[in-house]
Amino acid sequence: MEKVKLSLKESMPAAKIFLNIFGLVLDEDNTIKCNGDAVGNLFIVDDTIYMKANYNDAVLSASFNIPKGYGFVDTEDNNALFGEWKIPITFDINSNNIKYDGSILFDCTADSEFGLNCLIHPEIIITSPDDKKINVKMQKDFNFFRFDISKDDYYEYAFISPWNDLSGYLMHQITKGKEVKYAFPYNFQAGIYPGAEVGERKNLLHVFLSERERNGEEEKYLSFHNEFVPRVAKDDTAESNIQKGLLMQKLDKAMYEKIELIRKLLTIGNVSILDNLVGACYNSYSDEEVHALLGINREKMKYQTEANNLREAYFDKNLLENIKIKKFKN
Asked if residue 39 is part of any domain, the answer here is: yes
Going along the chain, which residue ranges are E strands?
3-5, 25-26, 31-34, 37-45, 48-55, 58-65, 68-73, 81-95, 98-111, 115-127, 133-139, 144-151, 154-160, 170-176, 186-194, 204-215, 218-230, 267-268, 271-272
Statement: residue 321 has pLDDT above 80: no
Instruction: Supply φ then ψ for residue 12, to 5 degrees.
Output: -65, -30
Instruction: Name the average pLDDT for the chain.
Output: 88
26 in a domain, yes or no? yes
For the stretch 125-142, pLDDT in tens is 999 888 889 999 998 766
Tell me if 176 sits within 8 A of 153, measured CB to CB.
yes
Structure confidence by residue, pLDDT tens digits, 19-56? 999 999 999 999 999 999 999 999 999 999 999 999 99
Task: Tally the domains of the chain.
Answer: 1
What percentage of residues in the chain have a pLDDT greater than 70? Answer: 90
Note whether residue 178 is domain-resident: no
Q: Using 50, 70 and 90 to split pLDDT, how confident is the model at 72? A: low
First to last CA, the chain: 6
Q: Residues 60-67: what's their mean pLDDT?
A: 96
How far is residue 252's CA from residue 265's CA, in Å, rounded to a whole number? 21
d(CA 285, CA 142): 9
Does residue 62 sit within a domain?
A: yes
Q: Are 43 and 35 in contact (CB under 8 A)?
A: no
Is 125 a member of any domain? yes
Could you tell me if residue 104 is inside a domain? yes
Taking the whole predicted model, whether its pTM rises above 0.75 is answered as yes
Residue 177 belongs to a domain: no
